[in-house]
Amino acid sequence: MHRDAIERLLPTVYQLAARPGSPVDAALHIMADLHQPDEQLLASIEEVFDPYRAPAAFVGWLTRWVGLEWLVADAPDELEGAEAGEVRPGAFAPGLGRLRDVVAIGHALAQWRGTDIGLKMFLTAATGLSGFDVDKPADRPFHLVVTAPAPAAPFAPVLRRIVEHMKPASTTAEIVFAEEGPDR
């Protein structure tokens, strides 16, 4: 807010006292200066909520908006002490860029939760790798075998967490890694 806009909000007696060089004039200039950082933020507020343009410390907080806070915290209340829900180093092994991708498709992940499509979509976004497969063995009802590409092995803990949260509630699941070979 500019000095003149703030002055117009004051009672008439203060407006009359707001002559140049007066204490009221000085206070109005200070108020305008205090508003400046907030106005700059509000002028570009869409950047804060865009997972690709949000500050790194804010991306962890955005996971809450799409119901994925479990992805960056071991316990639901673990993010409470974090500054604006910031992601702790190592909290999401594939990295901040991958977390931004996951948050960006969070709405679609919610829509496809509990399905093979949703699980593959999530695993692909989280790792940046393709080639995930979900199999339902006939000899093991209510069980899923998720086959992950071999390069995804370093992210096994994250993959397990994703599969556990995204699989249908009534099923069990296991993850196996495809072997790398000349035909792959």
Q: Are residues 88 and 139 in the same domain?
A: no
Q: Are residues 112 and 174 in the same domain?
A: yes
What's the average model confidence in pLDDT over 89-98?
80
Task: Count the neighbouring beta carbons within 10 Å of the beta carbon of residue 77.
Answer: 9
Which residue is it, tokens 């006939």? 138
Q: How confident is the model at residue 77 (pLDDT cuts 50, 70, 90)?
A: very low
Residue 58 belongs to some domain of the structure: yes
pLDDT higher than threshold 90 for residue 166? yes
Residue 184 belongs to some domain of the structure: no
Residues 101 and 113 sit within 8 Å (Cβ to Cβ) = no
Residue 130 belongs to some domain of the structure: yes
- DSSP letters, 105-126, are THHHHHHTTTSHHHHHHHHHHH
What pTM does this model have? Answer: 0.72
Q: Are residues 14 and 50 in the same domain?
A: no
What's the average model confidence in pLDDT over 155-181?
91
Q: What is the rounded (10 degree) CA torsion for 12, 16, 17, 22?
A: 130
Domain final residue, candidates 104, 133, 150: 104
Residue 167 belongs to domain spanning? 105-178
Write the pLDDT tens digit of every residue in 13-28.
999 999 999 999 999 9
Residue 34 belongs to some domain of the structure: yes
Report the number of distinct structural domains present in the chain: 3
Q: How confident is the model at residue 74 (pLDDT cuts 50, 70, 90)?
A: low
- Buried-state track 88-115, b at ≥16 Cβ within 10 A, e below 16: eeebbebeeebbbbbbebbeebeebbee
